[in-house]
Structure 1
Amino acid sequence: MASKVHVEKLATLTGHRDSVYTLEPAGKEHLFFSAAGDGMVVAWNLLEPETGELVARVNGSVYALCHLPERNLLLIGQNNEGVQVIDLESKKILKSVPLPKVAIFDILYTPEAGKVYVALGNGGVAVLDGETFELQTIIRKTEKSARSLAYNKYTSELAVGYSDHSVQIFDVLSMELKYELASHTNSVFTVAYSPDGKLLLTGGRDAHLRVWEVGQNYTHQGYLIAHMYTINHIAYSPGGKHFATCSMDKSIKLWDAQTFKLLKVIDKVRHASHGTSVNKLFWSAHQNQLVSCSDDRTISVWDINF
């Protein structure tokens, strides 16, 4: 089965001077942003992948970005400082939103609720007004970091993965806690709803990929030992037929989203992939290209052909 998937490395993007932690889609399918431990936020174009454009530079590492395409704004999680709102046209800081002086691990915007959610290193989820970016409230259910966020537009639910090993499901408007999912045995670094909103996939430091049935009150469907070490990120393909996982074990794996069969392993030996932890993925609708970033300071662009 695995041999039917052809993977080719199209480009290696360099320029960051430290671990690249995050990738964020940028409104058009061939554009995306990256951010790294060097504090640099860079815009890339898959049509001309070799040249990145510096969008912003902050003090300290950046783990989280969030693009608001309809307003051409980029939210940057500045660790220990809060969220910076950048106007991409002028590259000026429109607003700095002070937050508790902790790491910012994820940022999510939901147009339906008109809110921005920020996952904080002190276990809080900060809720900002989506228009003014004023802080409305901080929901804190644990002392351990909130690491990852996912939004289900069909159920109006927000999933949050925490370092206390739990995943908590909130009503996106009221922020009332609806479910607590406790099966992971270590920090949950990534949560992802399937594009149809029917499944929630979760992964993290225990290397287990867990599957939850949203419509059945998040019944646990089972798990796969997906990687040797920490699962850092899960990303669905644009059509939703496949998903990819990446790991601290330096590999990227491609899966069938219906059967959960492993289709392909992308690694250094076979594909000249990353030499250290792969931190984040962006699966673009632009020619089905998969983008990965790593502690090795590079970003790779992959042609995935099923």
Structure 2
Amino acid sequence: MSKIQVNKLHTLTGHNDCIYALAEGANPRYFYTGSGDGMVVEWDLDNPKDGKLIAKLPHSVYALEVDRERNLLIIGHNFEGIHVIDLNENKEIWSLKLTDQSIFDIKSLGTEIYVGAADGVVIVVDVDQKAVKKHLKLSSKSARVMAFDNDRKSLAVGFSDHTIKIISTKDYKALHNLESHSNSVFALAYSPIEEKLISGGRDAHLKIWNTKSYNLSDQVVAHMFAINYLSFREDGKYFVTCSMDKSLKVWDAESHKLLKVIDKARHAGHGTSINKVLWSSYDQSIISVSDDRSISIWKVEF
């Protein structure tokens, strides 16, 4: 493994339950967390110790997304739907009852919001109309994670039926059905600089897909237990994974070689499952959230 220095900058507390959701703000100095306690909190990387409560909902929050064009925070409220917060005004401006299911992921594109739910449906919401535009019934199992390709023409959706489906954002038609994982897909991200999609899931494997053909080009046994999420550094050279095995791992994005393990024993890491990870585009720190109710901020120097 290469010489990488890791320093834990901060441990942030305040949530009263497992933290499941993590999103970067339109101004990436800020980030947002959502928890099983229904609380959504804004954090400032320049002054991280003081979190600001944005919303308190009756059910768990598994999914958050920021509409960067409008500076809106979209909250996935389990068994209900979405709440939309104007971050300039710090107030809820509308909400929509969408589903009686858990909401696992949300993605925003132009005037549309894509909501992935536990019944295998991706719901497309029109932001201007504040109404449901389309129900895409793509699987009988949960839609767990979504990612846009770099030109925003395709949406990749990972499911608990072990598949990844690639959907056109123009006409919502299915373009590809990727089968290689042996269990639920929880992690998906397109490389910012290469023609590749990386996926991970409950089988603890990383799968690397060539996005020209969507053929499997490589695979790595990456963690002891489920890979819960992954995030690329802004320049596309590295990515980080987080796992139920309580570790973060930093990878070379070109060779898919493991560069660094960040865990409790070596770096005073999380004590339980790490649910989401974000490589900040503000200061290149790594932000992780966990079942242990804490947020960790890491400085990684190559």
Q: TM-score, normalised by structure 2?
A: 0.97
**Which 10-residue stretch deviates more, 32-41 or 68-77?**
68-77
Please say if residues 158 and 188 of structure 2, whose CA atoms lie closer than 8 Å, have aligned partners that are also in contact.
yes
Report the residue type matching 1:118 in the other structure.
V
Deviation at 1:98, TM superposition (A): 1.3
Partners of 1:287 and 1:153 in 2: CA distance: 22
2:263 paired with 1:267: yes
Deviation at 1:155, TM superposition (A): 6.2
2:222 paired with 1:207: no
Partners of 1:130 and 1:245 in 2: CA distance: 32
2:78 alignment counterpart: 79
Partners of 2:234 and 2:255 in 1: CA distance: 17
Please say if residues 150 and 190 of structure 2, whose CA atoms lie closer than 8 Å, have aligned partners that are also in contact.
no
Report the residue type matching 1:66 in the other structure.
E
Partners of 2:233 and 2:166 in 1: CA distance: 23
What percent of counterpart residues are identical?
46
Report the residue type matching 2:196 in the other structure.
L
Structural mapping, 1:1-306, within 5 Å: 1-2=1-2, 4-111=3-110, 114-154=111-151, 156-196=153-193, 198-215=195-212, 217-306=213-302
Please say if residues 284 and 299 of structure 2, whose CA atoms lie closer than 8 Å, have aligned partners that are also in contact.
yes
Q: TM-score, normalised by structure 1?
A: 0.96
Q: Secondary structure, in 3 states, of the residue corresponding to 2:28?
A: strand
What stretches of structure 1 of length at least 5 have no aligned partner? none
User: For this pair of structures, how many residues does the alignment match?
Assistant: 302
Q: Secondary structure, in 3 states, of the residue corresponding to 1:269?
A: helix
Report the residue type matching 2:146 in the other structure.
L
Deviations 1:125-151 (A, max 9, x none): 001113333101110121100000000
Partners of 2:15 and 2:227 in 1: CA distance: 23
Deviation at 1:197, TM superposition (A): 5.5
Deviation at 1:89, TM superposition (A): 3.2
Runs of 4+ with >4 A deviation: none
Partners of 1:287 and 1:73 in 2: CA distance: 22
Please say if residues 109 and 130 of structure 1, whose CA atoms lie closer than 8 Å, have aligned partners that are also in contact.
no
Please, what is the CA RMSD of the aligned residues? 1.1
Report the residue type matching 1:293 in the other structure.
V
Partners of 1:88 and 1:110 in 2: CA distance: 18
Deviation at 1:282, TM superposition (A): 1.2
Report the residue type matching 1:81 in the other structure.
E
Partners of 2:127 and 2:95 in 1: CA distance: 14
Deviations 1:217-247 (A, max 9, x none): 2010121010000000010001110000000
